Amino acid sequence: MKSSWIRIEVLCSPDLADDLAAEIAEVFEVGVEILDKGVCFYLEEERFVVEGQDKLERALRNFKEIWRVAALPPYSFSSIPDEDWMELWKVNFKPLRVGRRLIVAPTWEEVKPSPEDRIVWIDPGQAFGTGHHETTRLCLEWLEEWVERQHERSPKSLLDVGTGSGILAIAGALLGFDRILAVDNDPEAVAVARENLILNEVADRIVLQVGTVADIHGRYDVVLANIQALPLIDMAEALVERLSHPAMLALSGILTDQKIAVQSAFERQGLKLCGTKFADEWCLLEFGQLKEDRK
């Protein structure tokens, strides 16, 4: 029996689209596309019937209250057969060069790399992370730049929190990290990531785990978390506890007007902001240099 997908479109003014997308992404744990007149996302029909409309209205009421908009954002939904859904997202997923050496590509596209290129083959399924969103690109660019700053010293360990499709962990493996843990609280995302690890022939170099940063043991030389501002603030202490000494922490999924709040939360944990990267309305924050008095 073929399944169907529900396409949900929510209207809002362009200046609120990023914030609305972040709210929906957090509530449903799905990727959200920003449109000219609002946002849209997809849910399996069975999930939509069970929780979709009620959960969406609660999210929109919360959004209305936080952002003090005059009325609840209007929404509409339509059913899309599974085969049509697959074709819809494939149309817009083309090979993408990120940074100097990384190319993110779907399996159905032909790529002609140069000898220095590293191809990350991705079938995102229902998980977030194709490299096309600004937050993922910021992380990929930062990761490549960090490796290059090591001046050919071999990268050590990497923790990818909220791995989604596994794209950042895979890129880390291709760039030379020798110990990688990728964690996500969504079992479906971890299943998708596992398939992508096999596809890129790096499954023996990356450990996948269902859970949160609180479930992780050990410390890492580089910690990446591409999530959202509020969850990042909530897990600030737990993320810092996973850093070795010295280590670098890179955070993305942050809107530019949320930068100060996130920065303050991690500075209170004893970190220093070392750099910031911007892409449209999004930013990546790089922290390092633990204070001497931190145990």
Distance CA 63, CA 65 (A): 5
Q: What is the fold, at CATH topology level, of the domain defined by 4-89? A: Alpha-Beta Plaits (3.30.70)
Q: Which residues pair with 52 in a beta bridge?
A: none
pLDDT at site 179: 94
Q: Does domain 94-288 have CATH number 3.40.50.150?
A: yes
Distance CA 288, CA 218 (A): 18
pTM, two decimals, is 0.76
Strands (E), the chain: 4-11, 33-35, 38-44, 75-81, 96-98, 102-105, 118-121, 157-161, 179-184, 206-210, 220-226, 243-255, 272-279, 282-288
Considering the chain, tell me which residue range(s) the CATH 3.30.70.930 domain(s) occupy.
4-89
- Cα 110 to Cα 48, 96, 107, 171, 286, distances in angstroms: 35, 12, 8, 19, 34
Q: Are 165 and 127 in contact (CB under 8 A)?
A: yes
Considering the chain, tell me which residue range(s) the CATH 3.40.50.150 domain(s) occupy.
94-288
Q: Are 249 and 266 in contact (CB under 8 A)?
A: yes
CA 244 to chain centre: 23
| C-beta pairs of 151-154 under 8 Å, 24+ apart in sequence | 154/178
pLDDT at site 289: 64
Distance CA 279, CA 292 (A): 33
Closest by CA position to 184, among listed 144, 143, 140, 224: 224
- Cα 178 to Cα 148, 200, 205, 222, 241, distances in angstroms: 16, 15, 7, 12, 21
- Quote the tokens at residue 285: 């924050």
Strands (E), 83-229: 96-98, 102-105, 118-121, 157-161, 179-184, 206-210, 220-226
pLDDT at site 170: 97
Q: Which residues of the chain have pLDDT under 50?
A: 1, 127, 293-295
Q: Three-class SS string for 74-112?
A: CEEEEEEEHHHHHHHHHHCCCCEEECCCEEEECCCCCCC
